[in-house]
Every structure is written in structure tokens, then in C-alpha cells.
């Protein structure tokens, strides 16, 4: 029921920027808390950022603070993850998720993911 689609990934050099989008067409994202996660090869999935339904509260993984910004545009039914000053260690598949909590970082619905590769 909660169908999410990520986009915006790609290949970028260290220090570059990307903006990921998480969009929904079958429901209104403004009703939901949205989390961003990533999974690098050989590593477990980790929470990257989270935003509550109003947009008034956000959380970030320590390693991305000051570089990544999560935001939402309810008119476009989209949540964004702006990623600046990208590092090689940011390389991963990035997923957005809905139907959960920023406190526990547990979610019921997931997108298919978008690949982010940071390499020179």
C-alpha cells in the first residue's frame, strides 16, 4: 500500500554532491515519518537520516552531520536527501522508508533503493 520510489543516485567524485528523492504516488507522504538508510557492500544497513511528518524534527547519523540535509516538500509529495562533500565511504545503496519512527528507526515500507558511488 505504501509504494516508494528513490531516484537521484549516480557516480560522483569525492567532494561532489547529489540530491536523492523519495516519492510516493499512492499516498500522501505528509502523513508519514520518513527515514533514509544505506547499505554498503559487505556491511549491515544503517540509518542515515530521518524526518517527522511535520518536518520540524530531523536526525542524522554522526558521520553525515553537516554534510547531509533531509527535507520534505509536501506539495510535491517528495522527501529529499541533499548530500554534499561526499566521501568514498558514503558509497552504498540508499533506501527511503515510511510507516515507522525516527526514535526506533524501524519502518514497514521500503523503496527499491538507488545506488550512490563516490569514486575518483
Q: What is the pLDDT of residue 114?
A: 98
Q: What is the pLDDT of residue 1?
A: 62
Q: What is the pLDDT of residue 76?
A: 86
Q: What is the pLDDT of residue 29?
A: 76
- Consecutive sets of 10 residues in the chain, 120 residues long: mean pLDDT of each? 90 98 82 94 96 90 98 89 98 95 94 97
DSSP string computed for the chain: ---EEEE--EEE-TT--EEEEEEESSS-GGGS-EEEEEE-TTS--EEEEEE-TTSS-EEE-GGGTTTEEEEEEGGGTEEEEEE-S--GGG-EEEEEEEEEETTTTEEEEE---EEEEE--
Q: What is the pLDDT of residue 31?
A: 80
Amino acid at each position: 500500500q505504501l509504494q516508494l520510489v528513490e531516484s537521484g543516485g549516480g557516480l560522483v567524485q569525492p567532494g561532489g554532491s547529489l540530491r536523492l528523492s523519495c516519492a510516493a504516488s499512492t499516498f500522501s507522504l505528509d502523513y508519514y515519518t520518513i527515514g533514509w538508510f544505506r547499505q554498503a557492500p559487505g556491511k549491515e544497513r544503517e540509518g542515515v537520516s530521518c524526518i517527522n511528518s511535520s518536518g520540524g524534527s530531523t536526525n542524522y547519523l554522526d558521520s553525515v552531520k553537516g554534510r547531509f540535509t533531509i527535507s520534505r516538500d509536501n506539495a510535491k509529495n517528495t522527501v529529499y536527501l541533499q548530500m554534499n562533500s561526499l566521501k568514498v565511504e558514503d558509497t552504498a545503496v540508499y533506501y527511503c522508508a515510511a510507516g515507522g519512527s525516527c526514535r526506533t528507526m524501524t519502518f514497514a515500507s521500503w523503496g527499491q533503493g538507488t545506488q550512490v558511488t563516490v569514486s575518483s
